[in-house]
Structure 1
Amino acid sequence: MGQVLIAGITFSALAIVGVVLFAQEGPEYTPQIEIQQRVDASSDILYLKHSGGESLSFSDLDLIVIIDGNKKVLTEEEIQGCTGKNSWSLGDVIEIDLYKTWGVHLDSDNCVDVFLVDRGSKQLIQKATMPIEGMCSPLMNPGKWYFFTTVEGDDSDKVNLRYLHDCDPAVNFSAVPDEKYNDTFLGIEGKEYNPKNNFVHELKGETFGLTFGFRENDFKWPGAHNATILMIYSLQDQPSEFSLEIAGENMPIFDPVNCASNKWHMYNQTVPINLNSISDLKFNIHVNVIGKKSIEIDYLAVCLN
């Protein structure tokens, strides 16, 4: 990615169709505009060049820049200050000093998205992602369930994370994000819950701990304030030690009544979090049971809001 961001990058052409709505009656006028853009990480400058087509007044344009999920909007006055003109014509370059304008320093890991929006109609004219479309980490969307990509701790080498992606088809998660906390027995009309490729760890009177997480480049952090853990588990005995944490915040433990049932239950709990990186979104399980019992996990996912 870094080789695309250095100075001297060849402009990449974009064909942009602008939509201008006039107050008078008649067909919509659609100017044809070609834009070239590049980012120079060494100087923190974003360049947008008008390389063909008709002029566009800055009073008709909203220019939005999103850097790693942080939205910045360039005002009409700021655009004029970058060009010294009131409109964008052939050969004109909008040169945005990201550090001078917003205090942003770029590096090879940054993802820069540019949106050109027609101010009158609020319609998107064009979106461009730099350095290359598809090279930036995807945003972790709030309200969607995600599976952890890393695991550390006891028996972590025996944990196949894909085994925690599925469960008995009889379980319906469609309403789970909106439901209140529950730690309930799974089984419909007296039928037993049928686990899929579940993880099993034998508890031999020793402390057991696993930490699930994400790699830094797996997703872009959405700035969420709450995290929900959804887990399907079975624990054969009440633990003498037990704790659950997400992003360093304590979570309610399993219902003690369920721990000795040797049945499958669904854990669904939300807690507030405060962090700035996806790599800090870690879920910790710490448990100790006296006797030769086991803990099993058939499904594990996290949802941010």
Structure 2
Amino acid sequence: MLSVLSISVISQEGPANVPHTNVQEIMDTSTDTIYLKHNGGEPISPEDAEIIVNINGKKYIYTSSQIYASLGNNNVWKIGDTIEINTIKTWGVPLNNDDQVELFLVDTPSNELIQKSTLTTEFQKMPDLKILLTPMGDITDTSGSKKDTKGYGNKIQVRFVDCTKTEDATDPKITKEDRNCTTYYPNKTTINTSIYQELDFKIKPIAWGIRPGDTFCNVTLIIVYYSNDKSIKDFRLKFYDINEYGQGEWVYYENQLPKHTDQFESESINLTDHINTPADLANFKVRIEASTTSSDDKAIFIDYMGLWVEKTNYLASPESVS
């Protein structure tokens, strides 16, 4: 398992010759390796540096000569250079996920700290950004649901509580008449792709701090719905995706959506393999298409839809030290 720590350079004033340097420190327990990457600030002379690593209360020293060798016998540790310490080869000590590891980068002439940090595998589990996005664009229905006056009022999808009732209107047992939801009438017998309900998320990635080049480690669509009765035959969901050539296309979710015939229930659909770039997010929208075996008008009611997004933490990737 890989772990990274975001580090602060010691701000207290020391001797004038102590380098002011930012070092990114990474612990990869899968390879028993600690990486130290010079991320900015002044260069460091290997002969004037020493690395002390405290693993579960026991101290180990990585000497100036070892630093020099790790840098390819270079006399300067500069921006972009990375020192690799394999703890088994160096000290015969493996790294485990629950180890307590502290690292001290020392300026040996002055015996002052350049930097101190604690490494933990817990950091790797934390994505860089976590947000829940709901549809903020148009809701388009071609199934004729306009004849249903309930419908979906203000386009912005929210759950709400009806203050005239004692129950919370988000309770799954509340009937469709008491909920704020969209209404979709499936086609008879077979799915007709021209009869759908579309929800446009209208996401602006930059407004959430998502920039070109960012990727996502988790994108999950959450949908709460009620599918009337067992007469619903096919129930499909598809989403708009930007392919590798930069072209948009509708992609069907591989599975049929379950029929929720007794009450409103939720489903979570993992879309991480498809929605993984800012362009995917900016163009994200969803359609539902269904068919029914009944000759009567049957409806599917969508109470809530949200997209849970976790942005990749680049510091938790081995490539960040290469």
Same fold (TM > 0.5): no
TM-score by length of 1: 0.36
